[in-house]
Amino acid sequence: MKRRLDRFGNNKFRIFIRKHKKYAPLIFFIGGFIFDSFTLGRIDRLYDLIILCLHMSALTITLYLYNVAYDGKWQNTILHRYEEYFPLAIQFFFGGLSSAYVIYFSRSVSLSSTMSFFVILVILLIANEFLKKRISNKYLQFSVYFFLNLTFFTFMIPVFIKEMNTNVFIFSSLVSLILTLVVIIIIYAASPNTRKEIHKGKIIGLILSIYALINSFYFLKLIPPVPLALHRGIAAHEVTLVNNDYLVSYERADSKMFWRDHKLKFIYNPGDKVFAFASIFAPTDIKKSIFHRWKWYNEETKEWEITDNIGYRITGGRDTGYRGYTFKTNVKPGEWKVQVITSEELVIGVIDFEIIIDPTLKPNKIIQEKL
């Protein structure tokens, strides 16, 4: 057995990892990110579902293997050969799952008030590079695991049952909480070393605190309504439907504004209409009521005032999003934003622009695009 282990220990991969031990976490981090970036596309695509489920399952198994390894459970077994890779594997799956969620969330044109949750994911993704040094901290392990687990189920359950609302979110988060606590209890029971390092009541309290925090984020409308995403949002001068295609006329942005394809300033003449066009990605067969909430900024009160709530219904499945639009006439000059929201008032995205009323000005660079 010793000879076989020595021969295995001299293989090229092990030598490479040990030689570049300092950079191995970064290599695994980049590997997980690149893998997901090039392979993931739609949350409801079979391939994506399989990859995410494999990531979550493999992470759970590796977490168990890693935590009981210190108790010598794998001594004189084939798993003993791979013990030094367990932390790197955990990091790879942490990075893979968090980068996948960043990819899905980043499909939205505007993250608006949901930026806080998105920032947590980005920080988690970046911090993953440094987790190798602290991966032995079991409180950190289980906290990150629960956060990713909860996000996983809030993505997956709506896709599978083809429905999303507050009850579905509550159910998804409860499923995640129960499964995470089961994993922790199993590891705690199987590993004397884990029982020495953590206090059961403290870790359960920490998990419940994260659970309460994420749920409060949801009810404070700080979490995007996953898996919906605003694929495109445009303030347009005209929107017409021709042969199931939308012809959208809007002002092309200045070349310096490379991140946008429409102008923030909207030249308006009395009698014109202002259109808010949105294409919303939704998984196949999910049906959802969507509203455009038109808001105008009152310079005197320094507050946003709601002028209209205009609703329509979407059905998922189209790669570039389900399309719809609303419009207004007799608008006031100043800053406007159209929040694209669900019936639970969760913000999918925001279309922001400024109305300028000046008879001497005319819109320029207007283009018409088939969407």
Complete DSSP assignment for 156-214: HHHHHHT--SHHHHHHHHHHHHHHHHHHHHHHHHH-HHHHHHS-HHHHHHHHHHHHHHH
Q: Encoding tokens for residue 293?
A: 């909430």
Q: Residue type for 79, please?
A: L
CATH number assigned to the domain comprising residue 356: 2.60.40.1930
Q: Region 287-295: what's the mean pLDDT?
A: 89
Give the pLDDT band (50/70/90) at residue 231. Answer: confident
Q: What is the pLDDT of residue 212?
A: 94
Residue 238 in any domain: the answer is yes
Name the strands in the sheet holding 238-242, side by side, starting at the edge strand that comes first in the sequence.
238-242, 245-251, 366-370
Domain co-membership, 49 together with 194: yes
Whether the bond between 333 and the residue before it is cis, its omega within 30 degrees of 0, is no
Environment class of 230 (CB within 10 Å of its CB; exposed 0-12, middle 13-18, buried 19+):
buried
Residue found by looking up tokens 């289980």 in the block: 142
Residue 38 in any domain: the answer is yes
Domain co-membership, 91 together with 207: yes
Q: pLDDT tens for residues 41-79?
A: 667 678 888 888 999 999 999 999 988 887 777 777 777
**CA atoms of 237 and 369, how far apart (whole Å):** 12
Name the strands in the sheet holding 287-298, side by side, starting at the edge strand that comes first in the sequence.
265-268, 347-357, 334-342, 287-298, 303-315
Domain co-membership, 248 together with 366: yes
**CA atoms of 293 and 310, how far apart (whole Å):** 7
Cβ atoms within 10 Å, residue 216: 11
Q: Encoding tokens for residue 187?
A: 């590891």
Residue 70 in any domain: the answer is yes
Distance of CA 156 to the CA centre of its chain: 12
- Residue of higher predicted confidence among 363 and 265: 265
- Does the pLDDT at position 349 exceed 60? yes
Q: Residue type for 166, please?
A: T
Last residue of a domain, one of 193, 219, 245: 219
Least confident of 182-191, 281-290, 329-338: 281-290
Domain co-membership, 214 together with 277: no
DSSP β-bridge partners for residue 292:
310, 340
What are the φ/ψ torsions at residue 311 (nearest 5 degrees)? Answer: -110, 160
Residue 356 in any domain: the answer is yes
Q: Could you tell me the residue range of the domain that residue 240 belongs to?
A: 229-370
Domain co-membership, 77 together with 169: yes
Residue 87 in any domain: the answer is yes
- Does the pLDDT at position 139 exceed 70? yes
Least confident of 231-245, 310-324, 351-365: 310-324
Q: What is the pLDDT of residue 346?
A: 84
- Does the pLDDT at position 99 exceed 60? yes
Q: Region 82-89: what's the mean pLDDT?
A: 80
Least confident of 17-31, 258-272, 283-297: 17-31
Least confident of 20-29, 127-136, 247-256, 335-344: 127-136
Q: What is the pLDDT of residue 109?
A: 46
- Does the pLDDT at position 102 exceed 90? no
Domain co-membership, 91 together with 200: yes
Domain co-membership, 209 together with 243: no
**DSSP label at 232?**
E
- Does the pLDDT at position 25 exceed 70? no
Q: Are 328 and 293 in contact (CB under 8 A)?
A: no
Residue 202 in any domain: the answer is yes
Q: What is the pLDDT of residue 5?
A: 43
Q: What is the pLDDT of residue 143?
A: 87
Residue 89 in any domain: the answer is yes
Q: Are 340 and 350 in contact (CB under 8 A)?
A: yes
Calculate the average pLDDT of the chain: 79
Q: How far apart are the first and last CA of the chain?
A: 65
Q: What is the pLDDT of residue 207?
A: 93
Residue 224 in any domain: the answer is no
- Does the pLDDT at position 20 exceed 70? no
Last residue of a domain, one of 219, 241, 275: 219
Domain co-membership, 233 together with 124: no
Sheet strands (E) in 91-191: none
Give the pLDDT band (50/70/90) at residue 144. Answer: confident
- Does the pLDDT at position 172 exceed 60? yes
Domain co-membership, 37 together with 182: yes
Share above pLDDT 90 across residues of the chain, in percent, rounded to a whole number: 22
Domain co-membership, 255 together with 177: no
Domain co-membership, 202 together with 238: no
Q: What is the pLDDT of residue 6?
A: 44
Give the pLDDT band (50/70/90) at residue 106. Answer: low
Q: Residue 243 to residues 38, 237, 240, 250, 292: CA-CA distances in angstroms?
A: 34, 20, 10, 20, 24
Domain tally, the chain: 2
Q: Which of 342, 350, 252 is nearest to 297 (CA)?
A: 350
Domain co-membership, 91 together with 190: yes
Q: Is 111 helix (H, G, I), strand (E, B) or coil?
A: coil
Sign of the dihedral defined by the CA atoms of residues 53, 58, 59, 61, in that order: positive
Last residue of a domain, one of 170, 192, 219: 219
Q: Region 90-112: what's the mean pLDDT?
A: 70
- Does the pLDDT at position 189 exceed 80? yes
- Residue of higher predicted confidence among 354 and 349: 354
Give the pLDDT band (50/70/90) at residue 10. Answer: very low
Task: Looking at 70-85, list the stretches that DSSP marks H as alpha helix, in order from N- to C-terminal side.
Answer: none
- Does the pLDDT at position 185 exceed 90? yes
Q: What is the pLDDT of residue 146?
A: 93
pTM (2 d.p.): 0.74
Q: At what angle do helices 200-219 and 166-190 cross, to 10 degrees?
A: 170
